């Protein structure tokens, strides 16, 4: 009897906020208000711990009190070696490959400090089944993905619209922390994230990538 082995991270998974120009423009008026009073000058990171990881094809439980979840379709870089104080022109040489991810969250209004209780629920990170090797990927700014919910197109995302392109993001992050081999750094989620609910099937696809599919199910109460 054969079994299929899907990719799962071996290190820490980091997400990044406000890395699409459209989202920054939409939230610009709020960034000038207290307590921040200005847009962030460095990447805004958060962690998706191991309890959130869901393999391709897995059912993801949605808590009974949560009517809808936000679909965060993105591409992530997987480190092939340790990265520290990397230069922009060489940063992507440290990337082993790229993978689709679905960074689910409960809808919320915090954009500077993403609350753990909304983003780190069990199963709330769908992980694509396979890496696309960095050598085959080409320029990450050419990535384009689509989100289908129950077979209906709900979002299209182009990664030419990043505030910090992949190499720049990796460079800035590695200035203040070392990314280890196996760590994963998402490129960010665009404005207009679709909503989904228990019973929905979410498919995230992009040219050259193995499609990521998960189904949301209602949480079973003991």
* pTM of this structure: 0.93
The Cα 114–Cα 88 span in angstroms is 27
3-state helix, strand, coil in the chain (%, to 5): 20, 35, 45
Residues of the chain with pLDDT under 50: 1, 222
Q: 162-217 pLDDT, tens per residue? A: 999 999 999 999 999 999 999 999 999 999 999 999 999 999 999 999 999 999 99
Domains recognised in the chain with CATH numbers: 13-218 (3.90.850.10)
The gap from C-alpha 127 to its chain's centroid, in whole angstroms, comes to 9
C-alpha to C-alpha distance for 30 and 38, rounded to whole angstroms:
9
Q: Are the CB atoms for 105 and 70 separated by under 8 Å? A: yes
């Amino acid at each position: 009897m054969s079994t299929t082995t899907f990719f799962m991270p071996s290190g820490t998974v980091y997400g990044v906020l406000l890395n699409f120009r459209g989202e920054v423009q939409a939230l610009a008026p709020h960034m000038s208000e207290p307590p921040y009073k200005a847009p962030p000058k460095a990447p805004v990171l958060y962690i998706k711990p191991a309890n959130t990881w869901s393999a391709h094809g897995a059912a993801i439980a949605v808590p009974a009190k949560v009517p809808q979840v936000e679909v965060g379709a993105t591409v992530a870089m997987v480190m092939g070696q340790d990265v520290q104080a990397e230069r922009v022109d060489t940063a992507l040489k440290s990337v082993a490959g790229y993978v689709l991810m679905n960074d689910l969250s409960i809808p919320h209004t915090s954009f500077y400090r993403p609350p753990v209780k909304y983003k780190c629920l069990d199963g709330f990170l769908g992980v694509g089944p396979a890496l696309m090797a960095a050598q085959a990927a080409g320029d990450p700014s050419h990535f384009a993905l689509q989100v289908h919910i129950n077979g209906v197109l709900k979002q299209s995302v182009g990664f030419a619209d990043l505030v910090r392109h992949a190499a720049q993001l990796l460079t800035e992050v590695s200035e203040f922390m070392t990314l280890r081999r196996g760590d994963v750094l998402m490129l960010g989620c665009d404005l207009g994230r679709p909503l989904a609910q228990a019973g929905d099937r979410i498919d995230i696809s992009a040219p050259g990538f193995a499609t990521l599919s998960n189904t949301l199910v209602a949480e079973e109460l003991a």
